[in-house]
Amino acid sequence: MNKFFSYILKNNEKGFSLVEIVVSLTLFSMILIAVISFLLSMNNSSLKTKVDRDAVESAKNVIEKISGEIRSAKSIYTPTTTSTQLSLETSKYLVSGENSSFVDFFMCGSAVCFKKEGQDAVALTPNSVVVTNLLFVQISTGTQPSVQVSLTTNAGSGNNLSSITLTSTASLRSY
């Protein structure tokens, strides 16, 4: 038996045995798989965070734009205002010779659009974000009318789908 072990020890001094190579490759493979899994997980987490941020930022920007226009408006133009469209009479964006103009907010496809009187509608949300709900509710409080705006946006797809609903209320200011 001692001759057998001394023979193995002598052979090990010349190189690596097949068992040592297999064990080394197995350990290396397990470490490599763990590292790749960690990197893929981090990449998915980063993508999910980006999608969440896109959905929130888009909704926030639209709500801020609509709220700003409501605050600076002269009145809510009720003939064309519905639960899905807001029309405002404003002193901004005046057409020459006029003392007021109109702006509208509404859904156009899967985006929120802003239309100034006499101009084409402009999408306020990027193509990467889908708006699934836009709702306007007029609220009467005191002498100044208010509008509650609710907006739901989706960004991403599959496991990285992010949906956010923001609601804000803005009142017309009297000047």
Sheet holding 122-123, edge to edge: 73-76, 85-90, 101-108, 111-116, 122-123
Residue 116: strand, helix, or coil: strand
Q: How far apart are CA 48 and CA 125, in angstroms?
A: 19
Mean pLDDT of 43-50: 85
Taking all residues of the chain, what is their mean pLDDT, rounded to a whole number?
A: 86
Model pLDDT, residue 108: 93
Mean pLDDT of 78-105: 87
pLDDT at position 104 over 60: yes
Where is pLDDT greater, at 12 or 80?
A: 80
**Mean pLDDT lowest for which of 2-11, 18-27, 44-53, 164-173?**
2-11
pLDDT at position 35 over 90: yes
Q: What is the DSSP letter of 121?
A: -
| Residues in Cβ contact with 106 at an 8 Å cutoff, skipping those fewer than 6 apart | 84, 85, 86, 112, 113, 115, 121, 134
90 touches 115 (CB < 8 A): no
Count of Cβ atoms closer than 10 Å to residue 36 Cβ: 10
Model pLDDT, residue 11: 52
Mean pLDDT of 150-155: 91
pLDDT level of residue 2 (50, 70, 90 thresholds): low
pLDDT at position 131 over 90: yes
Element (H, E) at 79: none
